[in-house]
């Protein structure tokens, strides 16, 4: 479906939550902390850094945290198909790697953080973006399975 960018998607799926590592926390916003680490310490591919920075509709949490200017100023958004594919990977997989339906995954996030947490508020605001991304990937996968070109 992504052709030559499949390896990029795989790498970003493995690395998108690296900013949760206690050694990397700077802002407390894991997409930005992780992308900065990959860029500044490992000189990682720019596309990879942009995907990590913007995964799973991160703009909503960045806005909630007052970090939207830093996020958008340092990392341009990658093309929508790649961002949607990474969001699909993140939002259909649980913290332990088990498969999840997107609605169940969103519920899991809310339960983990509690109703008043900044992450829960951000996920609530991001839900239309997240579900749209998952639907777009499912539609593209359906087209590929049906023999179409995506």
Domain ranges of the chain: 3-145
Whether 1 shows a pLDDT value over 70: the answer reads no
pLDDT at position 131: 98
List % helix, strand, coil for the chain (3-state, nearest 5): 70, 0, 30
pLDDT at position 3: 77
Mean predicted confidence (pLDDT) in 64-79: 98
Mean predicted confidence (pLDDT) in 93-119: 96
Supply the pTM of this predicted model: 0.92
Neighbours of 50 (CB within 10 A): 21
Q: From CA 68, how far away is CA 40, in angstroms rounded? A: 19
Q: What percent of the chain is modeled with pLDDT above 90?
A: 89
| Bridge partner residues of 46 (DSSP) | none
Cα dihedral across residues 40, 118, 102, 22: positive or negative: positive
Mean predicted confidence (pLDDT) in 46-70: 98
Cα dihedral across residues 118, 60, 80, 25: positive or negative: negative
Residue 13: partners with Cβ closer than 8 Å, 6 or more residues away = 86, 89, 90
Mean predicted confidence (pLDDT) in 82-93: 97
The rounded mean pLDDT for the chain is 95
- Name the band, by pLDDT with cuts 50, 70 and 90, for residue 149: low
- pLDDT tens for 112-136 read 999 999 999 999 999 999 999 999 9
- pLDDT tens for 10-32 read 999 999 999 999 999 999 999 99
Residue 55: partners with Cβ closer than 8 Å, 6 or more residues away = 12, 16, 31, 83, 86, 87, 90
């Amino acid at each position: 479906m992504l052709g030559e960018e499949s390896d990029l998607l795989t790498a970003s799926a493995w690395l998108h939550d690296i900013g949760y590592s206690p050694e990397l926390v700077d802002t407390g916003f894991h997409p930005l902390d992780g992308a900065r680490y990959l860029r500044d310490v490992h000189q990682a591919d720019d596309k990879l850094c942009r995907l990590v920075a913007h995964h799973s509709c991160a703009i909503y949490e960045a806005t909630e945290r007052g970090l939207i200017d830093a996020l958008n100023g340092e990392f341009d958004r990658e093309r929508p198909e790649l961002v949607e594919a990474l969001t699909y990977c993140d939002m259909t997989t649980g913290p332990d790697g088990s498969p999840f339906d997107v609605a169940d995954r969103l519920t899991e996030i809310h339960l983990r953080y509690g109703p008043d947490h900044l992450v829960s508020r951000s996920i609530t605001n991001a839900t239309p973006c997240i579900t749209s991304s998952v639907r777009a990937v499912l539609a593209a996968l359906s087209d590929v399975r049906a023999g179409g070109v995506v």
